[in-house]
A and B are shown apart, each in its own frame.
Chain A
Amino acid sequence: DIQMTQSPSSLSASVRDRVTITCRASQSIGNYLNWYQQKPGKAPKLLIYAASSLQSGAPSRFSGSGSGTDFTLTISSLQPEDFASYYCQQSYSTPQTFGQGTKLEIK
């Protein structure tokens, strides 16, 4: 199985900060990497698919990059509604696997 390792596990930041979350795959997954945002008690929402494609409806301050084993999610200027948990997911092979999550909190 492909292991997905996110860092950091938690992060404190302020509104208007630039934030980067990283995700590393245990083997090459090409660009089969997705990013999700989840708020407490809610279902996840797809933000980025295929490593760098912005999902329709997702704000343009979210961007993704990377290929192979190393990927990043960047929020260019944090907004109050961005404080949530974020997960990466590989869809290269089954079993599909998620990272352990990054909880983004207000500083």
Chain B
Amino acid sequence: EVQLVESGGGLVQPGGSLKLSCAASGFTFRTHWMHWVRQAPGQGLVWVSRISGDGSTTSNADSVKGRFTISRDNAKNTLYLQMNSLRAEDTAVYYCARDWNDGLDMWGQGTMVTVSS
């Protein structure tokens, strides 16, 4: 089955760290750019980060630069988002998504990250 499954979300204190994972299956993972997109409760979609198929090229939103790092392990078919120095405004559902023809054609179910003391 073709799918993306996120994990690693949870409750973390401000200033803390969390690492999200996104396990891919059913397609050739290494040939696709991959993205992270987040959605705060009751709000719209916000693009966070993307990485090339071989992992050599990454881009991040200004709001997470210097704090979040996207990476991937193509041998494990897994995408990651390392989140450091977390803030209350990072509270959101985090989705991983597959890039296809410059659109995001497959999404995971999302994992909730709550930053609160």
Asked if A and B bind, the verdict is: yes
Residues of chain A whose beta carbon lies under 8 Å from any beta carbon of chain B: 1, 32, 34, 36, 38, 43-46, 49-50, 53, 55, 87, 89, 91, 94-101
Contact A49 B102 (CB under 8 A): yes
- Interface size counted on chain B using CB atoms at 8 A: 22
Residues of chain B whose beta carbon lies under 8 Å from any beta carbon of chain A: 35, 37, 44-47, 50, 59-62, 95, 100-105, 107-110
Residues of A contacting B104 in the complex (Cβ-Cβ under 8 angstroms)? 34, 36, 44, 46, 89
Residues of A contacting B47 in the complex (Cβ-Cβ under 8 angstroms)? 89, 95-98
Nearest residue (CB) in A for B61 is A95
Contact A43 B102 (CB under 8 A): no
Report the bound CA distance from A96 to B47 in whole Å. 6
Known contacts A36-B104, A43-B110, A55-B105; 12 further A-B pairs (Cβ under 8 A) = A34-B102, A44-B107, A46-B104, A49-B102, A50-B101, A87-B45, A89-B47, A91-B103, A95-B47, A95-B59, A95-B62, A100-B44
Min Cβ gap B83→A in Å is 17
Min Cβ gap B6→A in Å is 10
Contact A98 B45 (CB under 8 A): yes
Report the bound CA distance from A1 to B62 in whole Å. 10
Among B35, B44, B61, the residue within 8 A (CB) of A87 is B44
Contact B44 A101 (CB under 8 A): yes
Contact A32 B102 (CB under 8 A): yes
Among A44, A49, A97, A99, the residue within 8 A (CB) of B101 is A49
Report the bound CA distance from A96 to B59 in whole Å. 10
